[in-house]
């Protein structure tokens, strides 16, 4: 039983691009990978993590790289892009 393909989400008549490419089934990603997938600069992501803006962020040990859980990250992405599409800001 595989994952169901997700129906493209449409907000304000515009399709929200998926954060993860089709066939990518990783459960967690690093902050560097999130930057590459989203196109958001690494420094901006670090600031957002510091202020608690991105859900699902965690560190395995103190002072190690940030990791992100997929499910909360995908929900956050839809909200972020939806807000951007409606208001033009993040």
Could you tell me if 8 and 15 are in contact, meaning their C-beta atoms sit under 8 angstroms apart? yes
pLDDT, one tens digit per residue, over 47-60 is 999 999 899 999 98
Q: Is residue 37 part of a domain?
A: yes
- Residue 6, by phi and psi: left (phi above 0), alpha (psi -120 to 50) or beta? beta
- The number of folded domains in the chain is 1
Q: Is residue 19 part of a domain?
A: no
Looking up tokens 């998926």 gives 18
Number of C-beta neighbours around residue 30 at 10 A: 13
**Res. 88: pLDDT tops 80:** no
pLDDT, one tens digit per residue, over 4-54 is 445 455 545 556 678 888 888 899 999 999 999 888 899 999 999 999 989
Q: Is residue 10 part of a domain?
A: no
Which residues span the domain enclosing 78?
Answer: 28-87
φ/ψ of 68, rounded to 5, equals: -135, 135
Q: Is residue 43 part of a domain?
A: yes
């Amino acid at each position: 039983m595989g994952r169901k393909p997700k129906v493209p989400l449409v907000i304000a008549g515009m399709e929200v691009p998926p954060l993860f490419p089709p066939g990518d089934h990783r459960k967690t990603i690093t902050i560097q990978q999130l930057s590459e997938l989203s196109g958001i600069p690494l420094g901006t992501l670090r600031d957002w993590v510091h202020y608690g803006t991105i859900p699902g962020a965690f560190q395995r040990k103190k002072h190690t790289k940030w990791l992100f859980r997929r499910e909360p990250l995908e929900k956050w992405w839809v909200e972020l892009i939806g807000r951007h599409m409606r208001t033009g800001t993040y």
